[in-house]
A and B are shown apart, each in its own frame.
Chain A
Amino acid sequence: MTAFLAKRIGIGLITLIVASVVVFSVLEVLPGDPALLMLGMNATPEALASMREQMGLNAPLIVRYLNWVGGMAVGDFGRSFTYSSPVIDLIAERAVVSLPLAVISLILSTAIAIPVGIFAAARRGKVGDTVSMGVAQVGVAVPNFWFALLLIYVFAVWLRLVPAGGFSGWGGGIWSGVKSLMLPAIALALPQAAILARVTRSAMLEVLGEDYIRTARAKGMPRRYVLWRHALRNAMIPVLTIMGMQFAVLLAGTIIIENVFYLPGLGRLVFQAITQRDLIVVEGVVMLLVASVVVINLVVDVLYAVVDPRLRVR
């Protein structure tokens, strides 16, 4: 177990290091002088030079990389020149929107998908299976931002139940915050739920064909018992893999969805930073998202070991 975890943590760290090198070098080779961007076109050469010195742009590449990584390790993501504030503050301010959005979507999609997948597998070939999987088949094909537009049209424009966009903030109580995240979360979650339900169903069907299911049935255990007590846990292994990958997709999906709903989250931050060429913000947010993908993969690995004793070797 410890060896398994140590290896997975090591792999996660390597992934992070390589990713940071990629992000750093990609954004470093960019044409354009950050100092110039910061001071504007009318800056004097002297001011530029002192700005470059101040920003550490004259140091060798490797030193700048180490400074950047070292800074991030202690929470210093640099300073945004468009917002004139530390990037970490911007991120913290925006994360209170994006993180709840991603988490609510993940919970929502899991809570819908897994029961539906199990239900369909248990009633395989019957009407319930055909209908739910037909819906899922279409759901997989729906782009989340289009689904978001339809939701806005129906619930905000037509029924006027929720605001069409924007974020009320958490100041007005949890409910008003959740309320403005409800539609975005549904828009993100349902297409993902369709995928997850299909994966759950096929994983269940695969497991239900295994020899040990027949052994359990030969023991006299009823079909329902076998489904819940024997099949489900084994079927969770591929489902966990897909859930881990979906978290990455959900995070990326927040970039689009936050733009559809005008939510002041990380996705919108990074999107605006690109248009304003505020690279230090782009770097910081991208690294943060990559890091959360890596952490989630690690969590999935730990869950594997919880589900599957074969991975708990020593």
Chain B
Amino acid sequence: MSLLEIEKLCLNIGNVPILKDVDLTIEQGEVLGLVGESGSGKSMTSLAVMQLLPFSAQTRGRVTFDGVDILAAPEAAMNKLRGNEIGMVFQEPMTALNPVKTIGEQVAEGIRWHTSANRADAEDTARKILDRVGLPESQFPLSRFPHELSGGQRQRVVIAIACALKPKLLIADEPTTALDVVLQKQILELLRDLVDERKMGLLLISHDLAVVADMADRVTIMRHGEVMESGETARTLTEQKHPYTRQLAVASMHVPDRSGDAARAAPQTPLLEVDRVVRDYPGRRPSLFARPAPFRAVNDVSFSLREGQSMALVGRSGCGKSTLARMILALDRPTGGEIRLDGAPVSTLGEAELKPHRRKMQVVFQDPYGSFNPRHKVERLIAEPLHLLEKQPSATEKREMVAQALNEVGLKPADMEKYPHEFSGGQRQRISIARAIITKPKLIVADEPVSALDVSIRAQILDLFADLNGKLGVAYLFITHDLTVARAITDEVMVMHDGQIVESGKTGDVLDHPQSDAAKALVAAAPDLERALQRRLARHEASGTQEA
């Protein structure tokens, strides 16, 4: 009998069906990857196993864990299972811990509850497990509060809580999505080691095929609340029998056609010059009377970008890349150094003198939901940068320009009458791009423009960027932590670390043969579907020949 068996699980919230006939099994010591795009129902499946669903949810079907019928189990029996037999790790480490309790209390609490150990023994066990997840007591005593830890460290605490009592099953719901790639790799390795060590079953939920290919023995692929395909990881993902599996895999490895690359045709004139730029922020006062030491977010950065060129700025979260982007966009001023756009020193100009230069640079943000004023119609949203033109266009001219921009990004001119909430995430990102190109800028700064999108949408938006580069000759500066994006659509890449550019060069060269430690770490940590599958197949062959 399997450790966890889900048979024909159906779940409704109110009258809305969320899950339809979901089947899934996990054996003891096995890693199952549950893959799907947003809204596929993968998180709800895991919450159903834990019986932590919203109150209005109704379930049908069978969920059996270690012989226990979970859907029929009373609350008291579930309390015995949760934390003891089944542990769970969540997506958002910043909010997953109680801010007013120490990490020691939060780890020991479950131990005391389940084993009725006394405080000292429970704390002893807590110390051991915290040490095991990489938080040794010398640096991280039990008396630390969550706010004193970084995101990665907090996720380790959450893992410690989940694994403290050696559960038979660990559920990890997008455990690394909120972390940068280097931390992602560390956390995934920790999870894998714990699973091996303790013979736990692991239900790993992820939207990222590469992560799953690396970690899981078997995969289950979900879409719209239904299971599309299930099977052994390497075979399922290489054979791609199901069309949806194929679609996901293709989208994950998609590289846009960049034959129309504007940089090759354009003259070699520099468009953007960043010259020894520094940005300090006031730090926290160490004591009441001491002078606060400034925090240097960007440290002596210089580079230049030619017309029509696509450049990526990659780095871990907190490395200063977004601060740099804001200064380039003249939304923030450098403490030192100068930024020139088309020869004009935009970093020192006043807002009035900036106006003609702002027209030449526009921006696309990460969050397709936060990028628009929810109370304005699309026409007004896209037309906003027209404010920068010297001669204000008439109402009809404005509408024509908006219609043209919508055409360029693959939407219909009639869409201008709608409100942003009537569009999906991908469509919103198209609107965002339409807004950026309406003034015919020479430079678009895109801050993580696809990282909030599902893989299939992501591929389409990357195509659109590549297409517009060819058609309009616009140069891009992509700020991203995702090396696949950098590899897909840029000619050159800069690696930023602790406020400095530590490496730069042709995208292929840097990513294939990184020189600096920071770049090496990034490249090593970046999940890559193709390589993960090759590794997995190689392992199979090796074990196969041994057996033979």
Contact = CB atoms under 8 A, between A and B. Distances in A.
B98 A234 contact: yes
Contacts of B52: 214, 217-218
B89 to A, nearest CB: 9
Nearest to A7: B288
A211 B90 contact: yes
Nearest to A306: B100
A220 B110 contact: yes
A233 interface: yes
A270 to B, nearest CB: 39
A218 B145 contact: no
A219 B285 contact: no
Contacts of A155: none
Contacts of A3: 285, 287-288
Given A210-B95, A217-B52, A218-B87, A230 B101 contact: yes
A214 B80 CA distance: 16
A36 B96 CA distance: 70
B92 interface: yes
Contacts of B162: 218
Closest 10 CB pairs of A and B: A220-B83, A219-B110, A220-B82, A219-B83, A211-B95, A218-B88, A212-B98, A309-B145, A310-B147, A3-B288
A166 B106 CA distance: 54
B79 A221 contact: yes
Interface string A1-36: 011001000000000000000000000000000000
Interface string B117-133: 00000000000000000
A233 B100 contact: yes
A93 interface: no
7 contacts: A214-B90, A215-B106, A215-B161, A218-B162, A220-B81, A221-B83, A309-B147
B79 A220 contact: yes
B363 to A, nearest CB: 31
B412 to A, nearest CB: 39
A308 interface: yes
A307 interface: yes
Interface string B68-101: 0000000110011111100110101001111111
B99 A221 contact: no
Q: Which of A215, A308, A313 has its CB near the most chain B CB atoms (within 10 A)?
A: A215
B434 interface: no
B98 A230 contact: yes
Contacts of A225: 113
Contact of A308 (B100, B109, B158, B284): B100
A289 interface: no
A222 interface: yes
Contact of B84 (A214, A216, A220): A220
Given A3-B287, A310-B145, A314-B287, A219 B109 contact: yes
B387 interface: no
Given A212-B97, A214-B90, A216-B98, 7 more contacts: A215-B96, A216-B109, A218-B52, A218-B88, A220-B84, A233-B100, A234-B99
B92 A309 contact: no
Interface residues of A, number: 27
Contacts of B284: 313
Contacts of A6: 288
Nearest to A4: B288
Interface in B270-292: 284-288
A310 B98 CA distance: 11
Contacts of A220: 79-84, 110, 113-114
A141 B82 CA distance: 45
Contacts of A218: 50, 52, 82-83, 87-88, 90, 162
A309 B82 CA distance: 28
Interface of B: 50, 52, 75-76, 79-84, 87-88, 90, 92, 95-101, 106, 109-110, 113-114, 145, 147, 158, 161-162, 284-288
A interface secondary structure, majority = helix
B296 to A, nearest CB: 21
Contact of A211 (B96, B100, B101, B161): B96
A218 B98 CA distance: 13
B109 A2 contact: no
Interface string A213-245: 011111111110100011001100000000000
Given A211-B92, A310-B147, A314-B287, A219 B113 contact: yes
B82 A217 contact: yes
B285 to A, nearest CB: 7
A205 to B, nearest CB: 12
A212 B95 contact: yes
Contacts of B106: 215-216
Nearest to B47: A214
A219 B101 CA distance: 15
A222 B288 CA distance: 43
B82 A215 contact: no
A43 B49 CA distance: 91
Contacts of B161: 215, 219
Interface in A184-217: 210-212, 214-217
A214 B46 CA distance: 13
A12 B81 CA distance: 52
Contacts of A308: 99-100
A114 B80 CA distance: 31
A2 B95 contact: no
B97 A221 contact: no
Q: Which of A211, A214, A222, A310 has the most CB of B within 10 A?
A: A211
Nearest to B167: A220
Interface in A268-314: 307-310, 313-314
Contacts of B100: 233-234, 307-309
A216 B108 CA distance: 12
A229 B80 CA distance: 18
Nearest to B93: A211
Contacts of B101: 230
A212 B92 CA distance: 10
B90 A215 contact: yes
A221 B110 contact: yes
Contacts of B158: 215
Contacts of B83: 218-221
A114 B442 CA distance: 60
Contacts of A314: 286-287
Contacts of B110: 219-221
B288 A212 contact: no
B170 to A, nearest CB: 11
Nearest to A213: B98
A221 B81 CA distance: 10
Contacts of B90: 211, 214-215, 218
A309 B146 CA distance: 9
A154 B137 CA distance: 65
B110 to A, nearest CB: 4
Contacts of B99: 212, 234, 308-310
A3 B109 CA distance: 32
Nearest to A313: B284
A54 B81 CA distance: 83
A211 B101 CA distance: 14
A282 to B, nearest CB: 38
B428 to A, nearest CB: 26
B20 to A, nearest CB: 25
A3 to B, nearest CB: 5
Interface centre among A211, A218, A230, A308 (most CB of B within 10 A): A218
B84 A215 contact: no
Contacts of B95: 210-212
Contacts of B145: 309-310
B238 to A, nearest CB: 35
Instruction: Identify the interface centre among B100, B109, B162: most chain A CB within 10 Å of its CB.
Output: B100
